[in-house]
Structure 1
Amino acid sequence: MIYIPLPMVLSLLLMLVAGLIYLRRPESGKPVCGFVLVCAVSLSLVGLRWSLDIALLRFLQPAVAALIPVLAWCCFMPAHRAGSVSWWHFSGPAAVLLGSFIYPWWPWPIDVALVGLSLVYGVALWRLSTQPAAYVRLEDSRWFVLNERLGAGLLLFSALVDALLAIDFAVFSGEHVLTIVSAAHLIMLPALVAVVILASRTMPSLTVLSPDNFTDPEPLPLAAENDDDARCQIVARLDDLMCEHKWYLDTDLTLDRLARKMMIPARQISRAVNHVHGENLSRFVNRYRVEHAKTLLITTDQSVTEIYLSAGFQTKSNFNREFARLTGVTPSAFRRQGRDSCSSLQ
């Protein structure tokens, strides 16, 4: 019977996933596709080292592992800032690759570098999750932040694993290395891939506004960071524009789209809404969507599915949750109550 190590099986599955991502999203999916492929290669190297002890594998494995936290960062960063990620982020993996030449005689620099890369990018990704994700659909912002923090946690877990490997080399001469690496990779890499893929699906493929649906408002003066009057002015203008242009009906609405149309930095809009209403921008927009849905429930015979889609929601679960949060009842119950009230008036 042919024996195939489990890491090799998972690696083949990840390569298949990467191919599907590229076929479905040839342009926007490139960062995620690259990340998944690197994770697949890393698992392949682990699987090969289960059965083969080749110097080339020992040389390549730390260099490939060093790419994982950097590429994870590259997958999440576009949700917050426009433009490409600076190439200096790859200086760490390049240093690890160079250090692989001296690893047999002087291993601790690579051990420190691997722990440091995972630790630094894990902390950086967690801090990034506290900032508004301007290029994520507002409806999905809550889930994006959750995935971002799960990704940060997995990178910190990776730092812990790398530290355990260094300790094992120092104390036990690497006796448990293969067991630690294999177990950690089998848990961490598939989970990290899932988190990155789920997060990437919350970003619209196009971020360009349609001129047919939006009209540029008059620009507001830039608000001071702690100016309460300016924040109230931003929210008041946002209220007016929401009512006038019905931007909330756009299922792909993002903070970046609102910022460009209002000509105000995205961070100021997010902070203004949070300061005035005590809630995030996603919930603020969902209030308009729910009000629109309430009107349709009472005045039309459309199905609940048709209504939540026309109101700007993408999923029925999110619509039901937000509707219950704001009204205390389900959409169907609200429709029955509304029609019963109309009947009693007649």
Structure 2
Amino acid sequence: MIGDTYLRQSLMIRSMLFIPFPFVIAILLIVLLAVVRTRDDEAPPNLPFQALILLGAFQSTLSGLRWGYAVQPVMYVMPVAAAMVPPLAYLGVSRLARKSSLSPIQQICLHGLPAGLIVVLIALWRDAIDIAIVLTDVGYAAAILLLMRSGTDALRLAPFENAGPTYRAILFAASALLLSAAVDIFIWLDLAWAGGEYALKVITFGNLAALAVLAAAAAAASRSHAPVDRVEAVRPPEILQDSQTLAAVQALMKDRHAYRDVDLNLDRLARKLAIPARQISAAINRATGKNVSQYVNEYRIAEACTLLAETDDPVTEIMFEVGFQTKSNFNREFRRVTDTTPLEWRDRSRRPSKSTPVQKAD
């Protein structure tokens, strides 16, 4: 028979020593949220990701109240909060991947269904709470991975500069949801077969660790944001061959230096060219074997190499001029393209016989 994890765990409260770990996690998540909000002050915030971090702090607090102070009423709130985590993660990811045809109210109603279901189950069928939460975690993790199936090019609304780190953070978020589901399954099995011998340790560290990883991934992914769009005149899209599509992209990069736009993303690139985003992605991938963010960043690195060789401008100034916003991303992409650092490139470029050729975008 399916155990009611969130309700039956209360039977073990008296045997547990007080551990302030959940409150430490809650405090750290509040600090993380403050950092994210400050960082995103000049950019449209990813509200679902911010709400996810806040919800993580709330869940950690509930866990501390329940296991540290035996406040049993919170056990009715915990499963509802747990059911809200996966939808918020999905909504945060979808804001970077595509524009929804649903209004904000419609999205809230749709993705609020898991939490509503848990409320109903608490009142009518508590034994089904565990499996409902596990299915919610797994279902939304699968939905996130489905959105990301085309790699970094799936992040159509995220700036190219942050596409790689954002993609990895999203994969971590999906993994955290799967870890949370695995932890819940283990707890249910432990309660059913071993009387909860290991449940306390798993609850205290396993769930909170998954929650912390998910919140950290949300914070990392929120570095990317969908910029406020400027109205641009576009002509009706035409069906172009890969060579024509690539030629159009190259012209935009070389003639208009579109790569210098720090907010450039696949969706914005598609509008500038009046070519479907999927067609651009497929053409670049087939012709060069690279994703769009790598392709655009190589134009940025090519210009950076020229500036490093021909000017004495500071590296940071050059980084901003060519379209990068963070030094870590600039250095990582520079090493990927040139297999050296910016300072090493500048030094070698002034010794032609030992210089390293830059890999330019095709």
Q: TM-score range by the shorter chain?
A: 0.7 to 0.9
Alignment match, 1:92 = 114
Q: Distance in 2 between matches of 1:325 and 1:10?
A: 36
1:1-346 paired onto structure 2 within 5 Å: 5-19=20-34, 21-22=36-37, 25=40, 28-83=45-100, 84=104, 85=107, 87-102=109-124, 106-131=125-150, 132-174=154-196, 176-203=198-225, 206-209=227-230, 218-222=235-239, 230-341=241-352
Q: Distance in 2 between matches of 1:24 and 1:319?
A: 19
Distance of aligned partners of 1:167 and 1:311 in 2 relative to their CA distance in 1, 3 Å threshold: same
Q: Distance in 2 between matches of 1:217 and 1:277?
A: 26
| Aligned partner letter, 1:154 | A
Unaligned runs of 5+ residues in structure 1 are: 224-229
Q: Is the 8 A contact 2:162 2:329 kept in 1?
A: no
Identical pairs, percent:
34
| Aligned partner letter, 2:257 | K
Q: Is the 8 A contact 1:216 1:262 kept in 2?
A: no
Other structure's SS at 2:156 match: coil
- Indicate the structure whose relative CO is greater, using CA pairs within 8 Å and at least 6 residues apart: 2
Q: Is the 8 A contact 1:133 1:255 kept in 2?
A: yes
Q: Is the 8 A contact 2:46 2:92 kept in 1?
A: no
| Aligned partner letter, 2:229 | V
Deviation at 1:291, TM superposition (A): 1.9
Distance of aligned partners of 1:21 and 1:241 in 2 relative to their CA distance in 1, 3 Å threshold: closer
Deviation at 1:29, TM superposition (A): 4.3
Q: Distance in 2 between matches of 1:38 and 1:327?
A: 42
Deviation at 1:118, TM superposition (A): 0.8
Distance of aligned partners of 1:75 and 1:278 in 2 relative to their CA distance in 1, 3 Å threshold: same
Q: Is the 8 A contact 1:19 1:33 kept in 2?
A: no
| Aligned partner letter, 2:205 | A
Other structure's SS at 2:123 match: coil
Which digits, 9 at most, give the CA deviation of each residue in 1:135-162, with x for residues without a partner? Answer: 1110111111111111111100011011
Other structure's SS at 1:157 match: helix
Deviation at 1:24, TM superposition (A): 5.6
Alignment match, 1:227 = none
| Aligned partner letter, 1:151 | A
Deviation at 1:78, TM superposition (A): 0.2
Deviation at 1:286, TM superposition (A): 1.6
Alignment match, 2:4 = none
Other structure's SS at 1:100 match: helix
Give the TM-score of the pair, scaled to structure 1: 0.85
User: What is the CA RMSD across the aligned residues, in angstroms?
Assistant: 2.5
Q: Is the 8 A contact 1:18 1:37 kept in 2?
A: yes
Unaligned runs of 5+ residues in structure 2 are: 1-17, 354-362
Alignment match, 1:226 = none
| Aligned partner letter, 1:92 | P
Give the TM-score of the pair, scaled to structure 2: 0.81
Which digits, 9 at most, give the CA deviation of each residue in 1:160-198, with x for residues without a partner? Answer: 011112223322444544332212233111111111011
